[in-house]
A and B are shown apart, each in its own frame.
Chain A
Amino acid sequence: MMAVGFQDVSKHYRERPAVTEFTLQVQPEERLVLLGPSGCGKTTVLRLLAGLIAPDHGHIAINDEVVAMDGRNLKGPEARALGMVFQDLALWPHLTVRGNLEFGLKAQGVPAAERQARIYKTLGLMQLQGYAEAWPGDLSGGQQQRTALARALVLSPKLLLMDEPLSSLDFELNFQLRKELLRLQRELRFTLIYVTHNLEEAFDIATRIVVMKDGRIERIGDVSEIRAHFQQLLYQSAATANGDDTSRLPCPP
């Protein structure tokens, strides 16, 4: 069974192509990273998968069930049973941490007693005990990040989408949260699709990496293959720019 499948998916914003003929399969419990520069279509792929936008052409399947095809979403976002962490976190400022977690549970009709149990279990998992009644605006950056992740995980999704969630954090916090994310993924065994433009983050998190450019897949491989690819690029770059400082890794193209 495939956790996610894209088949010849294209999406345009007005005249501009955002994703072109995108085909990809993701295995259950895989940690797939979409890597590429800004504007290469990574976020569009995530939004297509979440059902927030519909593909112009092609079809998208989740757990072997087609959820969108040729300009139509066959299943709404709420029916796809996935979690998503946005780049700006999108924590609802008028709801407390508990309110943020409870919203989805209420929408899914989870009974009150079970809701409370799941909220406290998830808050414990994310080391946010004692913050249930806090307002998002009163939390530190790391706590906000954990709350956003908790909100996505409280519904026990089998598929978690993350759109550059750690990009605004300092190195130490970024590193710490990456480790926590890997621990959670191993513990809860969800499929993870993670968008980033940061090489180190990608190598740390991924079991497989998709390098994107101009809305298309440029390269797919496991971490060692992609690392070798970028090392090759670095070598070529160093060879052509004689005498330049080559001690720093270049950004992926």
Chain B
Amino acid sequence: MNWISCRLIYYNVDIVTILSDDVVLNAQQITLSATVALLLVIGAAPLLAMFAASLTIDGTLSLMYYQALVSSRRAWTLLGQSLTLSSLTALCGTTIGVPLGILLGKTDLPLKHLFVVLFTLPLLLPPYFLAVAWSHVLGREGWLSEMAGGSLAEMGSAGLFGLRGSVLVLTTVFMPVAMLLTMAYLKTVDPRLEEAGRLVARWPRVLYGITLPMIRPGLAWGALLVFLLAVGEFSVPMYLRYDVFPVEILTQFSAFYDFGAATAAAVPLALLTVTVLIGEERFSGAPRQAMRGFMGAAEGSLIRLGAAGTGWLTGVGLVCVVLVILPLGGLVLQTSPSDYVEALNRGGDSLLHSLVYAASGATLLTLLGFFCGYLIHTHALRAWRWVDFLTLLLLVLPSPVIGIGLIGLWNRPATDWIYGTPMMILLGYMAQYLALTSRTTAAALAQIPASMDEAALVTGAGWFRRLLTITAPLAGPGLLAAWLVAYIFCLRDTGIAMLVYPPGHDTFPVRIFTLMANSPEGLVAALCVLMMMATLLPLAPLGLVMKRWSRVP
């Protein structure tokens, strides 16, 4: 498409002729088709390349890697352990997350906004931070073990390393997913339906009989998401010495340099994810994307805790202390000023890399996510379902699977100009985290009345003009939120960066992960605290901007 046709599209000509007079496409279709093509290159092609590579040995078709995998008793054991760990994490995460979501999203519990931030904190950090933090509390030399002393310390340490500790840490990390989804879905329930129930019943019965059944698909989706995120997590079980299947992929790749075997090992996890997602799509009672906003719940739909508020506050406070303040506070207390100086000396360059890559990745993700979100919201192309499914699949795929796929696709002489650069990290971010920005954008667009765009349409404005001057500004707070979420997830990423970073470009979480094994505890704790600050610092000013933005009528 040349410059003139671009200008035409921007101003008032929606239909442009390209290639020949016979082929007439409109600007919207061209742009969205290009978005889908880009998504296929970034997200689908690595998976296909990975699958193809696992089926060939020295250029000939072979199932040898799969035969070796299927006949390996260790692989089955690891798969079983992975499923056990993720199932227990999903169970615990949902059991804690759903009641917390109701308390924080539906009641007048004091300090609820502070609790939301505190409970969400572990999700914003690389998962293994929590494992490190817990080891500083319950480990053999942890402060709680030292305080308890003797056999109690032994018990704490033994409990932390292995399945129980992995479940505890992963529950802390992924429970906020169930909590936040519960809060979000609660806002989709029409307050009138609850008020109609309140006329005849008390709140517990209304919650049980009206509210929760209506958001049941959302709650199930939360549990499933926790399961899928936990099944792909390797850093926590690795640190806590509980062998799981994703570690096998890393081992085959990093320790044995056997790319084919690593790829074959990645396929079962990819298949498991696809199967679970398809199953959920088939059997869920209501489509996930049908979230309708009744933001700013009506006064009548707020549960007033009254005299019981103090009791609930104490309970939630205790859970918060145990799950968040104890481990993360313990981590901060382990550090001294000299540790921070040492931490900056050892990891300052990678911290800078992380900030630059996370900001760049978030910007690219917001841009691509905007068009994907627009497509998902408007259903402008038939492919919208596939786009939604593919982005979601990529989000929940274990990161080593995506990392292996990216290496398989780009590690060839013709594309070495990409493979040897930090572009690989950005491609990885864009592949894995696109669902975060596309879904946030789609949700933001759903809040804009269709009449806004229609009013611009009748003035004769073309699609690009409407998109840039009406839709995007109206979705501004949503886009900013999308950038923020993408920034946090890019910054905390360990799995993709660990596999694809070019020499000299490691990110901060990767540097910490490698330093962790042989560094003093104070230094590791200081590195983790620096990472927390890098994650949280941009949240405050951006939060203020969003608050001010949301006040604009």
Q: Which residues of A come within 8 Å of B, CB atoms?
A: 47, 50-53, 76-78, 80, 82-84, 86, 88, 90, 92-94, 103-104, 106-108, 151, 155
Asked if B205 contacts A90 (CB within 8 A), the reply is no
A52 — which chain B residues lie within 8 A by C-beta? Answer: 195, 198, 298-300
Number of B residues, CB within 8 Å of A: 19
Please determine whether B201 and A103 come into contact, CB atoms closer than 8 angstroms.
yes
Q: How far is the CA of A108 from the CA of B190 in the complex (A)?
A: 23
Could you tell me the distance between the alpha carbons of A181 and B209 in the complex, rounded to whole angstroms? 29
Identify which of A52, A53, A83, A108 gathers the most chain B CB atoms within 10 Å of its CB.
A52
Q: Is the CB of A50 within 8 A of B199?
A: yes
Contact A90-B299, Cβ < 8 Å, known A76-B202, A78-B202, A107-B205: no
B516 → A minimal CB distance (Å): 49
Cα of A246 to Cα of B535 in the assembled complex, Å? 68
A86 touches B196 (CB 8 A): yes
Contacts of B193 in A (CB 8 A): 90, 92
CA distance A155 to B202 in the complex (A): 15
Taking the nearest CB of chain A, how far is it from the CB of B158, in angstroms?
A: 46
Would you give the shortest CB distance from A12 to chain B, in whole angstroms?
11
Residue numbers in A under 8 Å from B195 (CB-CB): 50, 52, 77, 86, 90
Instruction: Please indicate the chain B residues that have their CB under 8 angstroms from the CB of A103 in the complex.
Output: 197, 200-201, 209-210
Residues on the A chain within 8 Å of B196, using CB: 84, 86, 90, 92, 151
Residue of A nearest to B194 (CB): A90
CB contact under 8 A between A107 and B210, given known A86-B192, A90-B195: no
Asked whether A108 lies within 8 Å of B200 as measured between CB atoms, the reply is yes
Cβ of B80 within 8 Å of any chain A Cβ, yes or no, is: no
Please give the distance in Å from A53's CB to the nearest CB on chain B.
Answer: 5
Q: Give complex CA distance A61, B209 in Å.
A: 29
Does B220 make an interface contact (CB < 8 A)? no
Query: Nearest 6 CB-CB pairs, A to B?
Result: A104-B200, A107-B201, A52-B300, A90-B192, A90-B196, A77-B198
Q: B96 within 8 Å of A by Cβ?
A: no
Contact A78 B299 (CB under 8 A): no
- CB of A168, distance to nearest CB on chain B (Å): 14
* Residues from chain B with Cβ under 8 Å of A53 in the complex: 299-300
**Is B213 in contact with chain A by the CB < 8 A criterion?**
yes
Residues of B within 8 A of A51 (CB): 198
Partner of A78, one of B190, B199, B210, B298: B199
CA distance A107 to B210 in the complex (A): 12
B52 part of interface (Cβ distance < 8 Å)? no
* Number of cross-chain contacts by CB at 8 Å: 62
A-B residue pairs in contact (CB < 8 Å), sample of 9: A47-B300, A50-B199, A53-B300, A77-B195, A78-B198, A78-B200, A90-B193, A93-B214, A108-B201
Q: Considering the chains assembled together, what is the distance between the CA atoms of A196 and B530 in angstroms?
A: 61
Quick one: which of B193, B199, B209, B210 has the most chain A CB within 10 A? B199
The answer to whether A84 touches B199 (Cβ under 8 A) is: yes
Task: With both chains docked as a complex, state the minimum distance between the C-beta of B393 and any C-beta of chain A, in angstroms.
Answer: 29
Chain A proximity of B527: nearest CB distance (Å): 46
**Alpha-carbon separation in the docked complex, A103 to B208 (Å):** 11
Instruction: Check A88 against B201 for contact (C-beta < 8 Å).
Output: no
| A212 to B180 alpha-carbon distance, docked (Å) | 42
Is A104 in contact with B214, judged by CB distance below 8 angstroms?
no
Mark each residue of chain B from 285 to 312: 1 if its CB lies under 8 Å from any CB of chain A, else 0: 0000000000000111000000000000
Given A52-B298, A94-B214, 17 further pairs, Cβ under 8 A: A50-B199, A52-B299, A52-B300, A77-B195, A77-B199, A78-B198, A78-B201, A86-B196, A88-B192, A90-B195, A92-B193, A94-B213, A106-B209, A107-B200, A107-B201, A108-B200, A151-B196
Write out the residue numbers on chain B whose beta carbons fall within 8 Å of the beta carbon of A47: 300
Q: Is the CB–CB distance between A82 and B201 below 8 Å?
A: no
For residue B213, which residue of chain A has the nearest CB?
Answer: A94
> For the complex, what is the distance from the CA of A107 to the CA of B199, rounded to whole Å?
10
Give the complex CA separation of A247 and B199 in angstroms.
43
B202 touches A92 (CB 8 A): no
Q: Which residues of A contact B210 (CB under 8 A)?
A: 92, 103
* A84 partner residues in chain B, CB cutoff 8 A: 196, 199
Mask, B160-203, CB within 8 Å of A = 1, is 00000000000000000000000000000010110111111110
Q: Known contacts A52-B300, A94-B214, A107-B205; is A76 also within 8 Å of B198 by CB?
A: yes
- A155 and B200 contact, CB distance less than 8 A: yes
Q: Which residue in chain A gives the minimum CB-CB distance to B215?
A: A94
Chain A residue, CB-CB nearest to B301:
A52
- Closest chain B residue, CB of each to CB of A161: B199
Q: Which residues of A contact B202 (CB under 8 A)?
A: 76, 78, 107
Cα distance, A51 to B298, chains bound together (Å): 13
Residues of B within 8 A of A151 (CB): 196
The 8 Å CB contact of B199, one of A83, A88, A106, is A83
Q: Tell me the bound Cα distance from A50 to B191 in angstroms.
A: 14
A171 to B514, CA, bound (A): 75
- B residues near A104, Cβ cutoff 8 Å: 199-201
CA distance A92 to B196 in the complex (A): 9
Q: How far is the CA of A208 from the CA of B28 in the complex (A)?
A: 58
How near does chain B come to A17, taking the closest CB pair, in angstroms? 15
Chain B contacts for A50, CB-based, 8 A: 195, 199
Compute how far the CA of A215 lies from the CA of B214 in the bound complex, rounded to whole angstroms: 35
Q: Report A-chain residues with C-beta under 8 Å of the C-beta of B209.
A: 103, 106-107
Contact with A along B368-396 (1 / 0, CB 8 A): 00000000000000000000000000000
Residue in chain B with minimal CB distance to A13 = B299
CA distance A77 to B210 in the complex (A): 16
Which chain B residues lie closer than 8 Å to A108 at the CB level?
200-201
Nearest-CB distance from B194 to chain A (Å)? 9
Residues of B within 8 A of A86 (CB): 192, 195-196
Residue of A nearest to B304 (CB): A73
Asked if B197 contacts A82 (CB within 8 A), the reply is no
Give min CB distance, A46 to chain B, whole Å: 11
A78 to B199, CA, bound (A): 4
Query: Residue among B192, B196, B198 with the most chain A CB within 10 A?
Result: B196
- Contact between A90 and B200, CB atoms less than 8 A apart: no
Nearest neighbor of B200 in chain A, beta-carbon distance? A104
In the assembled complex, the CB of B202 is this many whole angstroms from the nearest CB of chain A, namely 6
Complex Cα distance A93/B214, Å? 8
Least CB distance, A228 to chain B, in whole angstroms: 36
Interface string of B196-240 (1 = CB under 8 A from A): 111111100100011001100000000000000000000000000
Q: Which residue of B lies closest to A104 (CB)?
A: B200
Cα-based distance from A252 to B198 in the complex (angstroms): 33
Name the CB-closest residue of B to A54. B299
**What B residues does A106 contact at CB under 8 A?**
209
Q: How far is the CB of A117 from chain B (nearest CB, A)?
A: 18
Tell me whether B213 and A90 are in contact (CB under 8 A): no
Q: Nearest B residue to A157 by beta-carbon distance?
A: B199
How far is B192's CA from A84's CA once the two chains are assembled, in angstroms?
11
Residues of B within 8 A of A83 (CB): 199
Taking CB as reference atom, which chain B residue is nearest A82? B199
Chain B residues lying within 8 Å of A90, measured Cβ to Cβ, are 190, 192-193, 195-196
With CB as the reference atom, state the residue of chain A lying closest to B210: A92
